[in-house]
């Protein structure tokens, strides 16, 4: 047992006297991959920062951290600096901000090499070039003089990985390394990490909230919740047995399919979009002459029938959000028509109240979706002002109460401010706000993407239930294929501003026709379908 | 934790504001009374802070002078907010459009004229006076508030709750007042106290060079200008008006810092 | 980069043109006629007319604006109404006091603020930090002309290390001249240094919370190395902005401080000109100061591009 590379024994961490980690014990063997799984607030990132000894100010730590024969928890900062980057490398969640914006990538990788090895400046740059090559950034295309802002998210994450593995550390800690990336990029980065681990005897800790991601890569798994380790063991055993109730709950929530009502009859088209075009002016490159334009939505046509749930899938930048905004009248359109109940909406003219009553929206981020200075009662009644006859204050009160109850909240919540609620509750309130004027269509723009899996399952159930009781149509926009599959009747696959495939959801998922759809489906990490058959690494 | 600056700041500000207010009803001595016999008196029981070169009671002069400083700075900040905030909100609401560009370029233009230059130009045309100082400092405050509210409003416009309000059919102006303004109020209050303190400094500077309040209206800057010629013989005359300015400005800055920490929900949650 | 440069240059020119219009129109609305003011109440009408012609006052306003601006561009600032000497000559002598004073003060304030700000930020919450922050609170609040008087009291009157005022002149040698500018420069610089220290510190602390600082630490850099190699340059943008703004405050402050130290600079010239209603001098000096401020803003804009590669390529 003492042979393992890293061993945490009864680790306790608190920040300003708030306990963050409680008796965390785990171990990583040389060359193996440990997956740490947990929802937000589980303490999984703090565990990583404890190993790196990079905890935020005001933290106190007790317990033992043994790494490669060293007692990390008690060595001094100076010695720790020689371990960080050299023996332990770390990759972070957010590639867009993890690199210094004013230094080129070569300098940032070379710095790490020069810091730990006695090599000349020229040599450190030479080695940096080799490392970048190894992580898939060949010098011909990505010279060392590139700045981070000239790279995409996936490419930046490769640079961060290059920094972490430049000195061939014994341990690589990857904290949600793919969460901020698109499905296909996520798959590429996971493959890269897997390959790096396979090629050397480097061990890895992969921290994630996504069971499917871990199941593809990890040898062993630790499941954390509220600062404690609840379950741990070899990946196969964990998924086969689902012994711990929380593990089981997580597993079930991850593959949750809400119960949906009978299929509706497609009688009349609620929304009909014909050859829609949306363009943005690009940033000026030349001073004179017309600005170039970027076509975010390029000749898109589709219909949504009353009571139907339509999915819109695509990766970031494919134009799905622009399309949603155009439909809601929040961004101008450059061509094509949008019909609602057969009536054409005027391009460039503010939508009439009558149209506004029919369409509402729920956004992704439960934290920025509400004015923090208004109470819930005022927040959810905001759309009421498009009604021709304003309800009396008594009617308004009843409406607030009944709407909040219909989304699983209570009428008393109306007097609270938004910061008193959790992410899942906020998303329920956002749905209440959309629901309050009884629209025919709700656009859900990544509405469950920011939620933890267990909360996400509950919100999906709520959406399915509301669709049944209120005859609601949904336009469900998401990058998450499994969620789209579980809640929609039909699906549209979007790429580069165009819809490349459409059809009944099951049809598209089982037998995709377009190569892009196939690629997307192949890239999506798969949860082991039955607990009995886990394919280990 | 940072609240420690709120209390001393509030106390200092309260002290000078109340003495300015009290001076309307009562001052220890009449400041218009010239009594050459009792000039240059050292501080004692009757004249707590001594007397000046005309034999006027320094404490009374300071109390009435506080009135001038505070009134000028207050009105100047008011002008800055009254024009600056709507301009900033309008610029943010029309981000990237012509109106935004025009407002921002106008801001740059005003920034090219330090308040003193504006005061110099106005004085050259209309002669010196307190109104002059108010206008000059006020004009300079406009772009400060315009920039601040534009910047803060821009980051709010990106938030989803604004999109939700637009999806609910609300217009730009209504959103600006209903959603944006309440969310930048804290920022405006904090910047307001800072501009207030800068206004007091600027007013003192303008009066010092004779571009502000004119005699016989007492003002701290003028008192310092008067004491300057007597600095070899009566250096104590320069002490109290300078301290008055220093403490008022210090008080306002501490109050501003304290308010910022107190109003910032992020810091409050940490406690 | 080129696009950024062209855009900044165009903005610079446009600002100058509009500023010149503002200055000209403001001064033009002055009631009364400079010629009759200069000649007194008993002047003959034809003498006044002759002087008006000499000063170019008989031409239309538009024509006068263009001849004024044309003169500014070619260095001919017109003739002083009072002294009947070329304004350019009057300004040239005095500019060589005001400008060095402002630059001296800017250098001083930057040289104090950089180490102080970095020092405070790197020892956040410690005693040094608290002390530095306390001192800057005082420095921000102190009126610079009062501080100047205190400096005179201590260093000129009590200690007699410096003279209480006046300017030795550049003919007396560089050090003699700089010595007479030292107290004024300190008086100007200290309040600005306090502001700059605070901005430097808070900007550094903001940057230290960024994700890429964590990356830097994960590489094995110590806190201090990460601060020097990664935080400092990223913290420069707000600091540069303040330095740019400060130059205009310093120029304006110099005008006031010159009064305390009896320095024959632009400030004194401007107040004399206002008193004698020599408006052409006021007009030209104000325009000159505006030009200085706008040029510094331009330089700051260029410095942004040097600090931040994102400005160089994308815009």
Over the stretch B203-260, which tens digit does the pLDDT of each residue have?
Answer: 998 888 888 888 778 888 888 888 888 777 777 788 888 999 999 999 999 998 888 8
Q: Report the pLDDT value the prediction gives residue A536, as an integer from 0 to 100.
A: 36
Q: Are residues A456 and A396 in the same domain?
A: yes
**Of A16, A356, A373, which is closest to B169 when you measure between CB atoms?**
A356
Whichever domain contains A509, its CATH number is 3.40.50.300
The answer on pLDDT for C313 being more than 90 is: no
* Mean of pLDDT values over C106-128: 90
Question: What is the spatial distance between Cα C259 and Cα A477, in angstroms, rounded to a whole number?
Answer: 68
| Residue A149 to residue C214, Cβ atoms within 8 A | no
B204 close to C (CB below 8 A):
yes
Mean predicted lDDT score pLDDT of chain B: 84
The answer to whether position A289 is within a domain reads no
Q: Are residues A187 and A312 in the same domain?
A: no
Q: Report the pLDDT value the prediction gives residue A463, as an integer from 0 to 100.
A: 92
Task: Specify the range with the lowest mean pLDDT, choosing from A126-130, A282-286, B83-87.
Answer: A282-286
Tell me the residue ranges of DSSP E strands in A50-200.
59-67, 70-71, 88-91, 171-175
* Chain B residues in contact with C253 (beta carbon < 8 A): 205
CB contacts < 8 Å between A and C, how many?
A: 87
| Residue A386 to residue B169, Cβ atoms within 8 A | yes
Q: Are residues A152 and A236 in the same domain?
A: no
B182 close to A (CB below 8 A):
yes
Q: pTM of the prediction?
A: 0.83
Question: What is the spatial distance between Cα B159 and Cα A368, in angstroms, rounded to a whole number?
Answer: 6
B160 close to A (CB below 8 A):
yes
| Residue C290 to residue B113, Cβ atoms within 8 A | yes
Chain C contact probe: residue of A48, A91, A98 with most C CBs at under 10 A: A98
**Of C26, C149, C252, which is closest to B121 when you measure between CB atoms?**
C26
Q: Are residues A62 and A206 in the same domain?
A: yes
CATH 2.130.10.10: does it fit domain B6-29+36-268? Answer: no
C145 close to B (CB below 8 A):
yes
> How many CA atoms, within 13 angstroms, populate the side-chain half-sphere of residue A115?
28
The answer to whether position A124 is within a domain reads yes
B177 close to A (CB below 8 A):
no
**Nearest chain C Cα to A88, which residue?**
C218
Q: Which CATH topology does C89-310 take?
A: MetI-like fold (1.10.3720)
* Mean of pLDDT values over C231-242: 87
* Mean of pLDDT values over A404-427: 90
**Nearest chain C Cα to A169, which residue?**
C219
The answer on pLDDT for B268 being more than 70 is: no
Neighbours of chain B (3+ CB pairs under 8 A): A, C
Question: What is the spatial distance between Cα C134 and Cα C123, in angstroms, rounded to a whole number?
Answer: 14
Q: Enumerate the CATH 1.10.3720.10 domain ranges in chain C, comma separated.
A: 89-310
Segments forming the whole domain that contains residue A125: 101-168
Sheet holding A70-71, edge to edge: A18-28, A6-15, A59-67, A70-71
* Chain C residues in contact with A287 (beta carbon < 8 A): 3, 6-7
B266 close to C (CB below 8 A):
no
**Of A97, A163, A285, which is closest to C219 when you measure between CB atoms?**
A163
Percent of chain A with pLDDT over 70: 94
The answer on pLDDT for B1 being more than 70 is: no
* CA distances from residue A233 to A26, A30, A198, A253, B144 in whole angstroms, order as listed: 10, 16, 21, 20, 60
Structure tokens given for C204: 């550094």
Model-level ipTM above the cut of 0.90: no
Mean predicted lDDT score pLDDT of chain A: 88
Q: Can you name the residues that pair with A495 across neighbouring β-strands?
A: A498
Q: Are residues A12 and A107 in the same domain?
A: no
> Is A382 within 8 Å of B164 (Cβ atoms)?
yes
B123 close to C (CB below 8 A):
yes
Q: Report the pLDDT value the prediction gives residue A350, as an integer from 0 to 100.
A: 64
The answer to whether position A448 is within a domain reads yes
CB contacts < 8 Å between B and C, how many?
A: 124
Q: Report the pLDDT value the prediction gives residue C30, as an integer from 0 to 100.
A: 67
| Residue A92 to residue C214, Cβ atoms within 8 A | yes
Question: Strand A309-313 relative to strand A335-340: parallel, antiparallel, unpaired?
Answer: unpaired
Q: Are residues A224 and A359 in the same domain?
A: no
Structure tokens given for B239: 């002490």
The answer to whether position A162 is within a domain reads yes
Q: Are residues A179 and A37 in the same domain?
A: yes
* Chain A residues in contact with B167 (beta carbon < 8 A): 328-330, 356, 359-361, 383
Q: Are residues A160 and A190 in the same domain?
A: no
Chain A contact probe: residue of B1, B161, B162 with most A CBs at under 10 A: B161
The answer to whether position A464 is within a domain reads yes
- Distance to chain C for B29, nearest Cα, Å: 26
| Residue A361 to residue B183, Cβ atoms within 8 A | no
B112 close to C (CB below 8 A):
yes
* Residue, of A298 and A260, whose pLDDT is higher: A298
Q: Are residues A119 and A56 in the same domain?
A: no
State yes or no: cis peptide before C313, omega within 30 of 0.
Answer: no
Chain A contact probe: residue of B98, B153, B169 with most A CBs at under 10 A: B169
* CA distances from residue C311 to A142, A188, B245, C8, C305 in whole angstroms, order as listed: 20, 31, 42, 12, 5
Q: Are residues A63 and A127 in the same domain?
A: no
The answer on pLDDT for A535 being more than 50 is: no
Percent of chain B with pLDDT over 90: 25
- Distance to chain B for C233, nearest Cα, Å: 23
Chain A contact probe: residue of B97, B159, B164 with most A CBs at under 10 A: B164
Question: Strand A498-504 relative to strand A490-495: parallel, antiparallel, unpaired?
Answer: antiparallel
Number of domains in chain A: 3
């Amino acid at each position: 047992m003492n042979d393992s590379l890293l061993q945490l024994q009864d680790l306790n961490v608190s920040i300003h006297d708030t306990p963050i980690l409680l008796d965390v014990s785990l171990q990583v063997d040389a060359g193996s991959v440990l997956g740490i799984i947990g929802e937000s607030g589980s303490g999984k990132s703090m565990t990583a920062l404890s190993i790196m000894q990079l905890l935020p100010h005001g933290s106190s730590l007790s317990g033992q951290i043994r790494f490669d024969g060293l007692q990390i928890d008690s060595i001094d900062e100076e010695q720790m600096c020689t371990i960080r980057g050299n023996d332990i490398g770390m990759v972070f969640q957010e590639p867009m901000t993890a690199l210094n914006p004013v230094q080129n990538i070569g300098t940032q990788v070379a710095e790490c090499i020069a810091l730990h090895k006695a090599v000349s400046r020229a040599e450190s740059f030479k080695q940096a070039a080799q490392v970048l090559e190894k992580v898939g950034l060949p010098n011909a295309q990505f010279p060392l003089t590139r700045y981070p802002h000239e790279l995409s998210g996936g490419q930046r994450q490769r640079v961060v990985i290059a920094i972490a593995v430049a000195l061939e550390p014994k341990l690589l800690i990857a904290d949600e390394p793919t969460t901020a990336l698109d499905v296909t990029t996520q798959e590429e980065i996971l493959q890269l990490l897997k390959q790096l681990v396979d090629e050397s005897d480097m061990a890895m800790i992969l921290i994630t909230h996504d069971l499917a991601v871990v199941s593809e890569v990890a040898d062993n798994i630790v499941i954390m919740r509220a600062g404690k380790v609840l379950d741990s063991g070899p990946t196969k055993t964990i998924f086969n047995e689902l012994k711990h109730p929380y593990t089981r709950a997580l597993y079930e929530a991850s593959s949750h399919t809400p119960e949906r009502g009978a299929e509706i009859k497609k009688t009349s088209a609620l929304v009909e979009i014909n050859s829609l075009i949306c363009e943005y002016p690009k940033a000026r490159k030349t001073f004179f002459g017309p600005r170039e334009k970027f076509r975010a939505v390029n000749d898109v046509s589709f219909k949504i029938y009353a009571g139907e749930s339509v999915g819109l899938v695509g990766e970031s930048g494919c134009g799905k959000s622009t399309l949603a905004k155009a439909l809601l009248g929040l961004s101008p359109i450059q061509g094509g028509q949008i019909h609602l109940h057969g009536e054409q909406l005027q391009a460039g003219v503010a939508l009439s109240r009558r149209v506004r009553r029919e369409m509402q929206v729920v956004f992704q981020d439960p934290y920025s979706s509400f004015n923090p200075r208004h109470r819930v009662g005022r927040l959810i009644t905001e759309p009421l002002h498009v009604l021709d006859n304003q309800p009396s204050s008594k009617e308004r009160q009843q409406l607030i109460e009944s709407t909040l109850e219909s989304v699983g909240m209570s009428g008393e919540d109306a007097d609270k401010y938004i910061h008193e609620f959790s992410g899942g509750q906020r998303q329920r309130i956002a749905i209440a706000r959309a629901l309050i004027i009884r629209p025919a269509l709700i656009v859900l723009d990544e509405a469950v993407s920011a939620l933890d899996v267990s909360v996400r399952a509950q919100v999906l159930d709520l959406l399915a239930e509301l669709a049944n009781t209120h005859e609601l149509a949904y336009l469900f926009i998401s990058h998450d294929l499994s969620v789209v599959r579980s809640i929609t009747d039909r699906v549209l696959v979007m790429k580069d501003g165009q819809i490349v495939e459409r059809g009944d959801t099951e049809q598209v998922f089982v037998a995709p026709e377009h190569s892009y759809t196939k690629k997307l489906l192949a890239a999506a990490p798969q949860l082991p379908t039955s607990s009995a058959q886990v394919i280990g690494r | 934790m940072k609240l420690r600056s709120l209390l001393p700041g509030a106390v200092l500000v309260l002290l000078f504001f109340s003495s300015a207010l009290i001076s309307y009803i009562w001052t220890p001595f009449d400041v218009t009374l010239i009594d050459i016999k009792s000039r240059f008196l050292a501080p004692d029981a009757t004249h707590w802070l001594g007397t000046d070169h005309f034999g006027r009671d320094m404490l009374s002069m300071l109390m009435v002078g506080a009135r001038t400083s505070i009134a000028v700075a207050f009105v100047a900040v008011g002008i800055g907010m009254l024009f600056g905030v709507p301009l900033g909100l309008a610029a943010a609401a029309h981000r990237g459009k012509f109106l935004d560009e025009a407002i921002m370029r106008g801001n740059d233009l005003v920034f090219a004229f330090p308040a003193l230059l504006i005061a110099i130009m106005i004085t050259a045309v209309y002669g010196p006076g307190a109104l002059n100082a108010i206008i000059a400092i006020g004009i300079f405050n406009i772009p400060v508030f315009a920039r601040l509210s534009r910047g803060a409003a821009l980051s709010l416009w990106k938030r989803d709750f604004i999109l939700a309000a637009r999806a609910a059919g609300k217009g730009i102006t209504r959103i600006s007042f209903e959603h944006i303004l309440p969310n930048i109020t804290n920022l405006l209050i904090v910047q307001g106290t800072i501009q207030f303190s800068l206004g007091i400094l600027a007013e003192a500077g303008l009066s010092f060079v004779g571009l502000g309040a004119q005699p016989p209206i007492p003002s701290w800057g003028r008192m310092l200008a008067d004491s300057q010629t007597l600095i070899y013989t009566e250096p104590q005359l320069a002490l109290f008006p300078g301290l008055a300015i220093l403490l008022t400005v210090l008080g306002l800055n501490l109050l501003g810092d304290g308010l910022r920490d107190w109003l910032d929900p992020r810091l409050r949650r940490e406690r | 980069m080129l696009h950024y440069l062209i855009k900044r240059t165009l903005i610079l020119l446009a600002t100058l043109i509009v500023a010149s219009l503002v200055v000209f129109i403001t001064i033009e609305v002055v009631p009364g006629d400079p010629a009759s003011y200069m000649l007194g109440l008993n002047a003959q009408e034809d003498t006044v007319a002759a002087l008006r012609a000499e000063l170019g006052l008989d031409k239309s306003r538009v024509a006068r604006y263009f001849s004024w601006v044309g003169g500014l561009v070619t260095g001919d600032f017109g003739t002083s109404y009072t002294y009947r000497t070329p304004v350019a000559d009057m300004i040239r002598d005095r500019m060589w006091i005001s400008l060095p004073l402002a630059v001296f003060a800017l250098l001083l304030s930057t040289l104090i603020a950089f180490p102080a700000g970095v020092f405070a930020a790197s020892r956040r919450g410690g005693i040094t930090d608290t002390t530095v922050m306390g001192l800057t609170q005082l420095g921000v609040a102190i009126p610079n002309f009062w501080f100047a008087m205190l400096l005179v009291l201590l260093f000129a009157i009590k200690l007699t290390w410096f003279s209480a005022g006046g300017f030795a002149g550049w003919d007396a040698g560089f050090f003699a001249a700089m010595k007479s500018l030292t107290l004024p420069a300190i008086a100007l610089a200290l309040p600005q240094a306090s502001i700059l220290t605070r901005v430097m510190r808070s900007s550094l602390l903001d940057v230290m919370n960024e994700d890429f600082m964590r990356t830097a630490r994960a590489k094995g850099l110590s806190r201090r190395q990460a601060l020097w190699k990664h935080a400092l340059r990223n913290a420069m943008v707000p600091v540069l902005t303040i330095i740019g703004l400060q130059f205009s405050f310093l120029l304006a402050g110099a005008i006031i401080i010159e009064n305390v130290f009896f320095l024959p600079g632009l400030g004194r010239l401007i107040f004399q000109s206002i008193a004698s209603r020599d408006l052409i001098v006021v007009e030209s000096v104000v325009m000159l100061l505006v030009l200085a401020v706008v040029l510094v803003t331009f330089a700051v804009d260029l410095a942004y591009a040097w600090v931040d590669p994102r400005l160089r390529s994308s815009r």
